């Protein structure tokens, strides 16, 4: 069961404190409330990591049952949503590891190329992008395009990018869950971000005049 | 500093953990290398896009939990 440091974000509401107390008593109605209140968002987290509806549903079920059994480990002052989030991430990562392993696609083709003297080989026309991210993100199709690009990253890099940049885990938390060193997480994250930039560049770069 | 080193040190530069001398070399390289300025900018934009594309409330309609899954989870809990 992941340990969650109490979040400095808004403290648990009286409703949440009462809900946790009910969970500790084994109250089924409280469990149903948790499933309905948090289940949708948590299912989306599992789907992002697993990219498979059935696996995501299994991971969510495993996680929520595990959370209910382990509610005594929930620390006063922590946020229930944060605690559940970490448990679902962990369940999804366990499922990812249990999947039949395939050789990972290399990421090198998505990284910048350099000449022997260390200068970068320009790809296309090193053009700025047409609009800033804030503007692009207002468009549904641009958001879908970015999510698709994330899905095209090699699995081990995609997972690190999701944990760090989307699920907002610290380097140390991600390293612990992935059984990697923090430095390996940093290297993978940097490569994943470079690869994402490469995949997005043809879509967003300013066309030649 | 070369373009390769600049890209290698990018995360440390952003994190503010690059030693002062390397930071100065990093910035000196940027002043002389417009393609690296563009690379840095588009890298940052890609990070922002990645973070923002999965957290837009307008897409939250897909974050609903299906009722049959709720029932399956409650049934599994009742069996324990």
Mean pLDDT confidence for A64-87: 92
Angle at A194 between CA A192 and CA A198, to 5 degrees: 115
Of A51, A69, B60, which Cα lies nearest the Cα of A61? A69
Q: Is the pLDDT of residue A118 over 70?
A: yes
Residue A111 burial class via C-beta count within 10 angstroms: exposed 0-12, middle 13-18, buried 19 and up: middle
Distance from CA of B22 to the nearest CA of A (A): 16
Residue of A nearest to B14 (CA): A190
Report the Cα A97 to chain-centroid distance in Å: 15
Nearest beta carbon to residue A118 from set B2, B64, B76: B2
pLDDT digits (tens, 9 = 90+) for A5-58: 444 444 567 688 899 999 999 999 999 999 999 999 999 999 999 999 999 999
**Cα B77 to the chain's mean position, in Å?**
37
Fold classification of B3-79 (topology level) = Arc Repressor Mutant, subunit A (1.10.10)
Listing DSSP states for B4-59 in one string gives HHHHHTHHHHHHT-S-HHHHHHHHHHHHH-HHHHHHHHHHHHHHHHHHHHT--GGG
The Cβ-side half-sphere exposure at A20, using a 13 Å CA radius, reads 19
Question: Cβ separation of B46 and A200 shorter than 8 Å?
Answer: yes
The rounded mean pLDDT for chain A is 90
Contact B48 A133 (CB under 8 A): yes
- ipTM score of the complex? 0.90
Q: Is the pLDDT of residue A132 over 90?
A: yes
Nearest-angstrom CA–CA distance, A56 and B71: 16
For residues A2 and A198, which has the higher predicted lDDT (pLDDT)? A198
Q: Interhelix angle for B34-53 vs A182-204, to 10°?
A: 100
Q: For residue A17, how many C-alpha atoms fall within 13 Å in the half-sphere facing its CB?
A: 7
What pLDDT score does A4 carry?
A: 47
State how far the Cα of A8 lies from the Cα of A75, in Å rounded to an integer.
13
Quickly state the pLDDT bin for B61 (edges 50, 70, 90).
low
Report which of B58, B35, B41, B14 is spatially closest to residue A133, judged by C-alpha positions. B41
Question: In A, which residues are within 8 Å of B74 by CB distance?
Answer: 28, 31-32, 35
Q: What is the pLDDT of residues A159-194, one digit of tens each?
A: 999 999 999 999 999 999 999 999 999 999 999 999
Alpha carbon separation from A29 to A34, A74, A83, A95, A148 (Å, rounded)? 9, 19, 19, 28, 38
CATH number of A14-98: 1.10.1740.10
Extended beta strands in A67-159, E state: none
Q: Where are the domains of chain A?
A: 14-98, 108-204
Buried/exposed code over A115-136 (b: 16+ C-beta within 10 A; e: otherwise) = eeeeebeeeeebbebeeebeeb
Is A198 a residue whose pLDDT tops 80?
Answer: yes
Nearest-5° angle of CA B57, CA B58, CA B61?
90
Query: A35 and B70 in contact by Cβ < 8 A?
Result: yes
CATH 1.10.10.10 is right for the domain spanning A108-204: yes
Per domain, the residue ranges of chain B are 3-79
């Amino acid at each position: 069961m992941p340990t969650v440091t109490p979040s400095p974000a808004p403290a648990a509401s009286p409703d949440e404190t009462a809900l946790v107390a009910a969970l500790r008593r084994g109250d089924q109605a409280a469990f149903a409330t948790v499933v309905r209140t948090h289940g949708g968002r948590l299912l989306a987290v599992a789907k992002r990591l697993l990219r498979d509806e059935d696996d995501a549903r299994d991971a969510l079920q495993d996680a929520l049952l595990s959370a209910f059994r382990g509610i005594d480990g929930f620390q006063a002052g922590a946020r229930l949503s944060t605690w559940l989030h970490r448990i679902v991430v962990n369940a999804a990562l366990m499922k990812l590891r249990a999947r039949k392993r395939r050789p990972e696609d290399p990421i090198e083709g998505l990284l910048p190329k350099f000449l022997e003297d260390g200068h970068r080989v320009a790809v296309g026309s090193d053009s700025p992008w047409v609009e800033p991210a804030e503007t692009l993100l207002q468009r549904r199709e641009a958001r879908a395009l970015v999510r698709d690009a994330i899905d095209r990253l090699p699995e081990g890099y995609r997972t690190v990018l999701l944990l760090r940049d989307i699920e907002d885990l610290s380097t140390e938390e991600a390293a612990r869950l992935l059984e990697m060193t923090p430095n390996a997480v940093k290297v993978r994250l940097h490569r994943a971000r470079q690869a994402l930039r490469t995949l997005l560049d043809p879509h967003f770069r300013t066309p030649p005049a | 500093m070369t373009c390769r080193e600049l890209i290698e040190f990018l995360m440390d530069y952003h994190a503010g953990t690059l030693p002062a001398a390397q930071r100065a070399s990093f910035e000196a390289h940027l002043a002389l290398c417009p393609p690296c300025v563009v690379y840095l900018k588009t890298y940052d934009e890609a990070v922002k896009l990645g973070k923002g594309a999965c957290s837009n409330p307008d897409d939250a309609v897909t974050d609903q939990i299906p009722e049959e899954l709720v029932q399956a989870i409650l049934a599994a809990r009742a069996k324990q």
